[in-house]
């Protein structure tokens, strides 16, 4: 899978931009604040219908404009599929093959991407929210059902929290509505957790040997799901629903007192262990970076396993954050296999055949030209 071209209109600092790419490594050079990351982000947004940098879509629209539009063409096996995403103050419209998609969950997955940016180094040491976002975005790319379940889950969570607040402030006293929302909430929560366990089992199978290779066979990586209540991967869906139901019965009074939903997938976390030690707490910065890199490379292989094609890899200003050995390992892994986009102020000091053979673009003050 690779993206053949992209066109931007009123996107961030670009009034209009049209670029054609080759199915290899594409390096985007330029000083900081010139628009390198905006190009990278636009590819991500075209694939995922949301940004990795902001949750406010209005920030993607060029100043004083009404809308932003991204168009691109993705090549999958022997087919070329046009994709289009329009972002306005009213919301988003997505088209695949010129047909408007009723739901974004039907659109996401037409183009698969793996993003590795400096903030992804926070995957290990950052907040649980960062890790939940990572797992949700990756499952969502290969499972429209999961995206739909997550969307429903968040709607019910919002309604449930609102009703708990009404009960807390005595604006409501009848708990029947809370019980109805709890039943709906549990159904989606159990399905989400079951799918997360399945995904992490596959991610573990890919990440463990990759991490071992990067650490020169000195370290063993283990990934553990940390649920907010006592469920495990050995449970089937029925058993999980049973455990959730018992828990919510027990904490009902406490939730009303607090006015918020206290357990569920929105409060779960991931823990990474290297040689049986929690990397977040006890790992060195090098171990934390190796873990993050291993997870991203494992993601590439997992998506390939799920859909039969490699995703597009986006490396946003991350090479300079890795030492020579990790840089080489990353570039060796992708060589000739994955269409890759690299943003960097300079390739000086990075001596690798992959970059020597790359297409190169130069960005300056919102304009881009191909230099190689």
**Residues of the binding site:** 30-37
C-alpha 44 chain-centroid distance:
9
Known binding-site residues for ATP equal 30-37
Question: Max alpha carbon distance in the chain (Å)?
Answer: 69
Rounded distance between C-alpha atoms, residue 26 and residue 340, angstroms: 6
SS (H, E, C) 20-62: ECCCCEEEEECCCCCCHHHHHHHHHHHHHCCCCCCCCHHHHEC
The answer to whether the Cα torsion of 241, 242, 243, 249 is positive or negative is positive
Rounded distance between C-alpha atoms, residue 327 and residue 119, angstroms: 17
Buried (b) or exposed (e) across 202-211, using 16+ Cβ within 10 A?
A: ebeebbbebb
Q: Identify the CA nearest to 240 among candidates 199, 195, 194.
A: 194
- In the block, residue with structure tokens 């094609």: 309
Q: Are 76 and 309 in contact (CB under 8 A)?
A: yes
Task: Give how far Cα 24 sits from Cα of 226, 249, 312, 358, Å.
Answer: 38, 55, 10, 7
Q: Are 94 and 101 in contact (CB under 8 A)?
A: yes
């Amino acid at each position: 899978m690779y993206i053949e071209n992209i066109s931007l209109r009123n996107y961030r600092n670009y009034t209009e931009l049209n670029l054609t790419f080759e199915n290899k490594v594409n390096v985007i050079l330029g000083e900081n604040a010139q628009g390198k990351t905006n190009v990278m982000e636009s590819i991500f947004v075209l694939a995922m219908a949301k940004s990795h940098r902001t949750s406010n879509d209005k920030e993607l629209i060029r100043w004083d404009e009404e809308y932003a539009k991204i168009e691109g063409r993705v090549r999958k096996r022997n087919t070329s599929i046009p994709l289009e995403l329009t972002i306005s103050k009213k919301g988003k419209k997505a088209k695949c093959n010129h047909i408007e998609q009723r739901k974004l969950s039907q659109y996401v997955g037409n183009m698969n991407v793996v993003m590795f940016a400096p903030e992804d180094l926070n995957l290990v040491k950052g907040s649980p929210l960062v890790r939940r976002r990572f797992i949700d975005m990756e499952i969502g790319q290969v499972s429209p059902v999961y995206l739909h379940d997550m969307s429903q889950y968040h709607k019910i969570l919002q309604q449930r929290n609102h009703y708990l607040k009404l009960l807390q402030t005595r604006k409501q006293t009848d708990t029947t509505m809370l019980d109805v929302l709890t039943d709906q909430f549990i159904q989606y929560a159990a399905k989400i957790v079951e799918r997360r366990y399945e995904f992490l089992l596959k991610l573990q199978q890919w990440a463990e040997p990759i991490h071992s290779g990067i650490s020169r066979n000195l370290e063993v990586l283990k990934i553990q799901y940390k649920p907010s209540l006592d469920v495990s991967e050995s449970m089937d869906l029925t058993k999980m629903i049973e455990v959730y139901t018992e828990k919510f019965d027990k904490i009902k009074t406490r939730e009303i007192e607090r006015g918020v939903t206290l357990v569920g997938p929105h409060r779960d976390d991931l823990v990474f262990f290297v040689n049986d030690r929690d990397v977040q707490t006890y790992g060195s910065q090098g171990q934390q970076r190796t873990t993050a890199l291993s997870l991203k490379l494992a993601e590439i292989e997992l998506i390939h396993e799920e859909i039969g094609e490699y995703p597009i890899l986006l490396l946003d200003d991350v090479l300079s954050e890795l030492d020579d050995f990790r840089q080489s390992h990353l570039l060796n892994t992708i060589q000739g296999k994955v269409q890759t986009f690299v943003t960097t102020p300079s390739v000086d000091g990075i001596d690798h055949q992959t970059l020597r053979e790359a297409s190169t673009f130069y960005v300056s003050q919102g304009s881009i030209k191909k230099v190689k």
